[in-house]
Amino acid sequence: MKRLAIYCGSATPGDPVYMENARFVGRSLAERGIGVVYGGGRLGLMGAVADAALATGGEVIGVIPQALVDAEVAHRGCTELHVVRTMHERKQAFTDLSDGFITLPGGTGTMDELWEAMSWAQIGYHAKPVGLLNVAGYYDGLIEFVRKMGEVGFLRPQHQSLLIVDHSLEGLLRRMGSHVPATTIGQIGSKDL
């Protein structure tokens, strides 16, 4: 994996574990020679990932909608900063520019990005690994929810392993590196849908 899209929040939570982890991720990816593709912001976890990767000599590609540039939240120190018109164009660029996705803690925007990466993998728009770094148990409820979707039948057996989860970056990268693409909805016979 040469580049990973990092989905995370633009907020700075009160608990320092989230910012520390974001810096660790940015620094660790740069040390491994893995470029960061992210939301292009300078605030919160997004800014922490970018700053740490840049300080370690890593490549950082920001993709940000014009509306957020106008709100003066763009990170002007990125290796590259792509300004797009819409959030859809932003997510398409994340997919085009990266070899996989890692989701760190975040809010509704982060969840939007994660779910789209997963649904696009189901459909076959990409065959890239979708990772979730469960920092300090932040995503325990989401992990349980994904399990429940499978249990009830809203997440097909072929797609129940789409979300690669780990509590450590090392473990997550190892698991993402051995990712085998799921059978897409288009490859499943209509009798199995």
Domains of the chain: 3-192 (3.40.50.450)
pLDDT in tens, 148-180: 999 999 988 888 889 999 999 999 999 999 998
Place of tokens 């939570």: 13
Q: What is the pLDDT of residue 161?
A: 86
Closest CA to 6 of 143, 92, 132: 132
3-state secondary structure (DSSP) of residue 66: helix
**Reported pTM:** 0.94
Residue 169: closest CA among 118, 134, 120, 137: 134
Q: How does residue 190 score in pLDDT terms, banded at 50, 70 and 90?
A: very low
pLDDT in tens, 12-57: 999 999 999 999 999 999 999 999 999 999 999 999 999 999 999 9
Q: What is the pLDDT of residue 162?
A: 92
- The reported pLDDT for the residue numbered 153 is 92
For the segment 58-67, the average pLDDT, to the nearest whole number, is: 97
Helices marked H in the chain — which ranges? 17-31, 44-55, 66-70, 87-97, 108-123, 140-152, 169-177
Query: Taking each helix axis from N to C terminus, what angle separates 87-97 and 108-123, rounded to the nearest 10 degrees?
Result: 60
In angstroms, the CA 166 to CA 163 distance is 10
